[in-house]
Amino acid sequence: MTIQLPAPDGTLRTYEPRTEPLAVTPGTPFTSRTVFSAAHVVADPFADVSPDSPAAVDWDATLAFRRHLWSHGLGVAEAMDTAQRGMGLDWAGAAELIRRSAAEAKAVGGRIACGVGTDQLTGPASLAEVRAAYEEQLALVEASGSQAILMASRALAAAASGPEDYLEVYGHLLRQATDPVVLHWLGPMFDPALEGYWGSSDLDAATDTFLEVIAAHPDKVDGIKVSLLDAQREIDIRRRLPQGVRCYTGDDFNYPELIAGDEQGFSHALLGIFDPLGPLAAEAVRVLDTGNTAGFRTLLDPTVALSRHLFQTPTRFYKTGVVLLAWLAGHQSHFTMVGGLQSARSLPHFTRAYELADGLGLFPDPKLAEDRMKTLLALYGVTQ
């Protein structure tokens, strides 16, 4: 079993894939950490759509992937950045995704939290309109029976004149939330429109405002998700949180050390990389549950190279690699994405993602992954 892969110099080289996947089976629920995977959506490949059309979703395959994650004990963070929220999936599609996934979670006993944003706003908006958009989405998520994740809002970033506007909008939403929510700080590397969030491009000042929101409503904040790809900043924020407020790492570059923690605390997890890493990540957390931090790091540290590759600049296109790996792993029958984003990365990027994932044993059927990779290579003119 070999495959010819393109080398950086344009030549072909022979690669020998693994013959056996990593042996991982579903196990007991986690006890030491709360762990969510932000899950991708599966497009309908037969829909007659264009990149500007509303998303056409294969609901059966999308929900089957969530059942896969739940079967390994992971929670599902739904309708988030990984689901192409605001990058192919509009609010109407996200609302349907939330309703369907929340119902599926209830049916199978899976944990779910869903993104609340303002993406129904398609042009310039006032602060009052931003607040109303958040309220509409919060009501839908709560009605679905899901926990709410208050996502960063492009519309709020555009409308706010300073920190006081963030304090007012978030304070209003937290006061009316029925149950404690997760606050999500997504950095501009994931979405350039979020530059200057919390009222300042100075991260120290932004952090102070973020923490001020939490300190004013600690009973309404279950936790925070920090996606800044800055491990030390996350640790510093984590240490300043009110007692009982969790930190869910969203750092897809430094997650093993942040989840493992130190003598002053640790992070839980809400990660896009746990979409392709689901079974392996679950196994690692169960090892951590036994108190074996070294064993946890032994399992999870080798995955960082793959994560850093998928999340390389421009980071917002990491979803393309995530969906590629879902196709190669047999979780869906095609490599098609809503909005046509399967074209957002290059063949060298795909090739390296395949090698790294195969080396980790992520493909349940290595031969299927090899055959599908050969099909992709052939579309690019690479003959075997």
DSSP at 54: P
Residue 57: C-alpha distances to residues 36, 43, 220, 265 (Å): 22, 4, 33, 40
Task: Give the pLDDT confidence score for residue 175 in this predicted structure.
Answer: 97
What tens digit of pLDDT does each residue of 286-321 get? Answer: 999 999 999 999 999 999 999 999 999 999 999 999
Question: What are the tens digits of pLDDT across the range 159-203?
Answer: 999 999 999 999 999 999 999 999 999 999 999 999 999 999 999
Residue range 58-116, pLDDT digits in tens:
999 999 999 999 999 999 999 999 999 999 999 999 999 999 999 999 999 999 999 99
Model confidence over 13-39: pLDDT tens digits?
Answer: 999 999 999 988 888 899 999 999 999
Q: What is the pLDDT of residue 215?
A: 97
Identify which has the larger pLDDT, 9 or 153. 153
For the segment 353-377, the average pLDDT, to the nearest whole number, is 98
What is the dihedral angle through the alpha carbons of 40, 345, 117, 220, rounded to the nearest 10 degrees? 70
pTM: 0.96
Phi-psi region for residue 2, left (φ > 0), alpha (ψ -120 to 50) or beta?
beta
| pLDDT at residue 8, rounded to an integer | 81
Burial (CB count within 10 angstroms: exposed 0-12, middle 13-18, buried 19+), residue 380? exposed
Reported confidence tier of residue 285, pLDDT bands at 50, 70, 90: very high
pLDDT for position 51: 81
Looking at residue 342, its pLDDT comes to 97
**How far, in Å, CA of 151 to CA of 102, rounded?**
18
Residue 171 pLDDT: 97
Cα–Cα separations (whole angstroms), residue 206 to 152, 195, 224: 13, 11, 14
| Alpha carbons 282 and 72: distance in angstroms, whole number | 6
Averaged pLDDT for residues 145-152: 98
